[in-house]
Amino acid sequence: MPAASEKGDFVSENESQFHFDCGRGLSMVLGIMVAGKTTLSELNPGQAARILAYVGGHEMHLRLMEMGLIPDTEVRCVRIAPMGDPLEVEVRGYMLSLRRAEASRIEVELL
């Protein structure tokens, strides 16, 4: 399918993602989980992964990218709170606590 220029239109696809133009130079990735890929919220303490893409709306993604969670960045799950929320991850040399809902929007590949 050819690239589109209108806001919200389909731009491209590959085997695991669909990209949509959100306007203002932003694009949104709707991920489809495939083997070897999971979300940040599914990691167990001690597991490491590489960020692949974001799933869902782009407002949250901008905030997460400002905190250093950008594609191709390695992260490690450090610990999970007793009730399962929040979880603490190590990213770029510092510890970051995320809500499980936020972490579930980050598609990762296990290392």
How is the chain split into domains, by residue range?
A: 35-110
**Per-residue tens of pLDDT for the chain, all 111 residues:** 444 444 444 444 444 445 444 444 444 444 444 456 889 999 999 999 999 988 877 777 788 888 888 889 999 999 999 988 899 999 999 999 999 988 998 999 998
Give phi and psi for 50, each to the nearest 5: -115, 135
For 108, counting Cβ atoms within 10 Å of its Cβ (0-12 exposed, 13-18 middle, 19+ buried), the class is buried
Give me 87's structure tokens. Answer: 């979880």
CATH 2.30.30.90 at 35-110, yes or no: yes
78 and 15 Cβ atoms separated by less than 8 Å: no
